[in-house]
Amino acid sequence: MPSPHETEPAPASAPASAHALAPVRDREALDPRGAKRDRSWPPAPEPLPYPVIDNHCHLDFSDGDEELGVRDHVERAAAAGVDAQITIGSDLEAVRWTAALLAAPDRPESLRGGVAVHPNEAALHARGTDHDGNALIGLDEAIAEVSTLLRGPGMIVVGETGLDWFRTSRGDERARAAQIESFRAHIALAKELDLPLQIHDRDAHRDVLEVLDADGAPERTVFHCFSGDAEFARECVDRGHYLSFAGTVTFKNADGLRGALAEVDLGRVMVETDAPFLTPVPYRGRPNSSYLIPLTMATIAEVTGTELEHACRAVRATTEEVYAWPEALAA
Ligand SMILES: [Zn+2]
């Protein structure tokens, strides 16, 4: 029976179509290589023998010489054996974009998401201006908006939050304090909403663990784009945390990271792209998308001495356990 409200326009916050949402950020603007970079999309690798989930990508970014929309990313991923994706909104514009995408009536069934104030953004909100000097809302207000949007449709994770001591100087006490304050607020949010937490940890291993230990980590805590060594990996899994590996694990200079992967059980391991960044070898530097995950999965299988199909099954099972999703796709 047709609903009497059927002809009413969708509310302004929900787009008519998930596929009409244009990307809000351009990787090119953030990439120091600029015009010298090869922006062509890498060819599709051999599809995986068993499907996995990309548990961290940024669909709000545009990249590449040919613009791909949400539908293109989803379809290419599915063809490569990546049948579900979690897209992460990490600055306020991306946070709102991600919430709108997930609220769209035609959002692909294989798509879920998460939002948070990224640690580097936390420092900017505390300062009150972005990189170009434009006014930003305060940190408390930004976290309040994230908290509201996390209660909307399709949100299954709080992230990415954590600490980034790479882009914040040691001497900038105010920025460091803002990151810690924001991280703690997101830990509390994950616990309140009973959602997993995705951690961004850049050059901050020790301090991230210290904050988690002090406040009590959410039951499902994920180190997104894990970047530690074997010893740190052991410390994380001993606490019950999960490690998500990105294309960085395929990089030539990443022996430490591969040592970390070899150290832990696949029951604690997940795979991600962090697309459009961190494109796996041999396409490093070119645009990244979920369809390139087979290259990273091949490395995960090799390093752990596991047959590829078995590695895919194990990594997928870990991902389903952490996100309690996708129930319907579970084997
Ligand atoms: Zn990311």
Q: How far is the CA of 3 from the centre of ligand 1 (A)?
A: 40
The answer to the question of residue 331 being in a domain is no
**Is 70 exceeded by the pLDDT of residue 70?**
yes
The answer to the question of residue 92 being in a domain is yes
The answer to the question of residue 211 being in a domain is yes
- Residues facing 53 on adjacent strands: 84
Query: What's the rounded mean pLDDT across residues 33-48?
Result: 88
**Closest listed residue to residue 55, CA positions, set 163, 151, 196:** 196
The structure tokens listed for 26 are 């351009």
277: CB partners within 8 A, 6+ apart: 27, 58, 288
Find out whether the peptide bond into 119 is cis, omega within 30 degrees of 0. Answer: no
**Is 90 exceeded by the pLDDT of residue 22?**
no
Q: How far is the CA of 6 from the centre of ligand 1 (A)?
A: 37
**Is 70 exceeded by the pLDDT of residue 196?**
yes
Tell me the residue range of the domain where 248 lies. Answer: 48-326
Beta carbons of 304 and 314 less than 8 angstroms apart: no
**Is 70 exceeded by the pLDDT of residue 10?**
no
Q: How far is the CA of 176 from the centre of ligand 1 (A)?
A: 20
Q: How far is the CA of 275 from the centre of ligand 1 (A)?
A: 7
Confidence of residue 14 (pLDDT cuts 50, 70, 90): low
Query: What's the rounded mean pLDDT across residues 312-320?
Result: 98
Q: How far is the CA of 231 from the centre of ligand 1 (A)?
A: 23
- Tell me the one-letter amino acid at 277: F
The answer to the question of residue 4 being in a domain is no
Q: How far is the CA of 85 from the centre of ligand 1 (A)?
A: 13
Beta carbons of 223 and 203 less than 8 angstroms apart: no
Q: Which residue has the tokens 């029976």?
A: 1
Please state, for a pLDDT cut of 90, what percent of the chain lies above it: 84
Q: How far is the CA of 274 from the centre of ligand 1 (A)?
A: 5
**Is 50 exceeded by the pLDDT of residue 12?**
no
Beta carbons of 311 and 265 less than 8 angstroms apart: no
The pLDDT, as a whole number, for residue 102 is 97
**Is 60 exceeded by the pLDDT of residue 76?**
yes
Q: Whole-model pTM?
A: 0.92
Intra-chain end-to-end CA distance of the chain, in Å: 35
Q: How far is the CA of 137 from the centre of ligand 1 (A)?
A: 22
The answer to the question of residue 5 being in a domain is no
The answer to the question of residue 37 being in a domain is no
Q: How far is the CA of 10 from the centre of ligand 1 (A)?
A: 30
The answer to the question of residue 22 being in a domain is no
How far apart CA 155 and CA 259 sit, in angstroms, is 33
Which of helix, strand or coil describes residue 51?
A: coil
The structure tokens listed for 30 are 């953030």
**Is 50 exceeded by the pLDDT of residue 298?**
yes
Q: How far is the CA of 128 from the centre of ligand 1 (A)?
A: 23
Q: How far is the CA of 278 from the centre of ligand 1 (A)?
A: 10
Q: How far is the CA of 50 from the centre of ligand 1 (A)?
A: 25
Q: How far is the CA of 223 from the centre of ligand 1 (A)?
A: 11
Is the Cα dihedral 21, 22, 25, 27 positive or negative? positive
Query: What's the rounded mean pLDDT across residues 23-52?
Result: 85
The pLDDT, as a whole number, for residue 20 is 79
Q: How far is the CA of 88 from the centre of ligand 1 (A)?
A: 7
Confidence of residue 170 (pLDDT cuts 50, 70, 90): confident
Q: How far is the CA of 27 from the centre of ligand 1 (A)?
A: 12
Q: How far is the CA of 9 from the centre of ligand 1 (A)?
A: 33
The answer to the question of residue 14 being in a domain is no
Residues counted in the chain: 331
The pLDDT, as a whole number, for residue 279 is 97
Q: How far is the CA of 247 from the centre of ligand 1 (A)?
A: 12
199/22: higher pLDDT? 199
**Is 70 exceeded by the pLDDT of residue 329?**
no
The pLDDT, as a whole number, for residue 4 is 38
- CATH number of the domain where residue 75 is located: 3.20.20.140
Q: How far is the CA of 160 from the centre of ligand 1 (A)?
A: 7
Residue-averaged pLDDT of the chain: 92
The pLDDT, as a whole number, for residue 17 is 85
The least confident of 29-33, 61-65, 150-154, 297-301 is 29-33
Q: How far is the CA of 134 from the centre of ligand 1 (A)?
A: 23
Q: How far is the CA of 287 from the centre of ligand 1 (A)?
A: 14
Q: How many domains does the chain have?
A: 1
Q: How far is CA 134 from the centre of its chain?
A: 26
Confidence of residue 35 (pLDDT cuts 50, 70, 90): low
The pLDDT, as a whole number, for residue 36 is 78
**Is 50 exceeded by the pLDDT of residue 157?**
yes
Confidence of residue 55 (pLDDT cuts 50, 70, 90): very high
Q: What is the DSSP string of 92-127?
A: HHHHHHHHHHHHSTT--TTEEEEE---HHHHHHHHH
**Is 80 exceeded by the pLDDT of residue 312?**
yes
**Closest listed residue to residue 287, CA positions, set 102, 120, 40, 26:** 40
How far apart CA 64 and CA 234 sit, in angstroms, is 37
The pLDDT, as a whole number, for residue 15 is 60
How far apart CA 250 and CA 139 sit, in angstroms, is 36
